[in-house]
Amino acid sequence: MITTPPATAAAPVARVSARPVVRLAAIVLVSRLLVVLAAVAAEAWSQRNPLLTGGDGAPILRSLTSWDGWWYLGIVRDGYHAAPIAGGYHDYAFLPLFPMLVRLLALPAPGWEGLIAVVAANILFGVAIVLLVRLTELRFGSELAYRSAALMALFPFSAASSMAYAESLFMVLALGAFLAVEHRRVGLAGVLLALATLTRLQGVVLVIPLVWLLWDNAGRPRPRPRWAALLLGPVAALAALAWVVWLTGDPAAYTHAQAAWGRDGLGAAPDASLGAGLSSPVAFVHVLNLVVLLGAVFLFVFVRADRIPLPYVAVPVLVLAMVFASGSLESVGRYVLVAFPYYWVLASRRHVAWRVGWPIASGVALFLLSTLMFAGWFVP
């Protein structure tokens, strides 16, 4: 059971031994090494899906810039297009903040966008690890904070955080927004939420737990004018959608772009619905995603027993709700990756077999799933 330390226990945090920090750093490095080894295995020893294209042709980078990375790097190099890029797929399905960051970083080194995107994603993932530790310490103390961060690093789908993907940037901004609210810096939280929303549109739903947390921490008073800063998240979402309408001249363009990836709502196209994929030639992918989804739902058995504050419980609830609403199981593991309260639940299990077994099993799964992703047989 997670227990919140008493207020008097907060002072010794600054004198925490360096041992947990070193141990966590080692686990993070091992987790990233597993991802690199998976890329090597996928490129050197496994049969690669001939349809998979990397955004960079260099060894290892070919894997780490594949899938959505190809799209992000295309935006970095060539900007956005109103017309489809491949088939019925549009690049404006991907929001601009991550490619803008990579393009800015790559200005002094044109031609190195792939490497820069991957390095940036890994550095940002390290920052997200630190922010998760800081946020968890405020609520549950250092021991659970370091354990939670280690489990995030070893999460079976965390390879996406080392790829040319927006996930690491999104986690930094989302965790930063929650940390800012915990410190009652509402203006900063609003800016971070807006930036998170411009990274992944799912960020807009985080306004609900952030407002709830602010209200809880303030003793549940009447709403105050300065809380309106958190509305920057929804405003950013509307601005992003308005920009797509301006680019295309079609009010439904963004919805249609998402539908190309099978995210067009429950009961929509039969090849995109939650259940139909189980009979497809790649049914194992959908079965595994369904297992992840059900496992995530099962973890809710523990959230109240572990005394996780309800505003934080709302984070994975909203993430799963969006998966169900999208009508697609694709990439559910990557969506669960950013639902950070899950790591609190996982880290709070006290049985010795769990404490040893889960990190090992998770690390093995990280390597195997990453190899399948990089070989083109599993969607990250």
- Tens of pLDDT, residues 69-106: 999 999 999 999 999 998 889 999 999 999 999 999 99
Residue 40 has pLDDT above 60, yes or no: yes
Q: Please state the separation of Cα 59 from the chain's center in Å.
A: 25
Q: What's the mean pLDDT in 343-370?
A: 92
pLDDT at 320: 84
Q: What's the whole-number average pLDDT of the chain?
A: 88
Specify the higher pLDDT residue, 310 or 328: 310
One-letter amino acid identity for 223?
P
In order of 40, 104, 121, the CA distances from 319 in angstroms are: 32, 30, 21
Residue with tokens 């909203």: 318
Residue 375 has pLDDT above 90, yes or no: yes
pLDDT tier for residue 277 given thresholds of 50, 70 and 90: very low
Q: What residue ranges do the domains of the chain occupy? A: 17-375
132 is written with which tokens? 């998760």
Residue 281 has pLDDT above 70, yes or no: no
Half-sphere exposure of 45 (CA within 13 A, CB side): 7
In order of 87, 258, 291, 323, 324, the CA distances from 266 in angstroms are: 23, 13, 19, 10, 7
Residue 274 has pLDDT above 50, yes or no: no
Specify the higher pLDDT residue, 37 or 51: 37
Half-sphere exposure of 104 (CA within 13 A, CB side): 7
Angle between helices 352-375 and 142-154 in degrees, nearest 10:
30
pLDDT at 191: 98
Residue 133 has pLDDT above 60, yes or no: yes
pLDDT at 89: 92
pLDDT digits (tens, 9 = 90+) for 136-152: 999 999 999 999 999 99
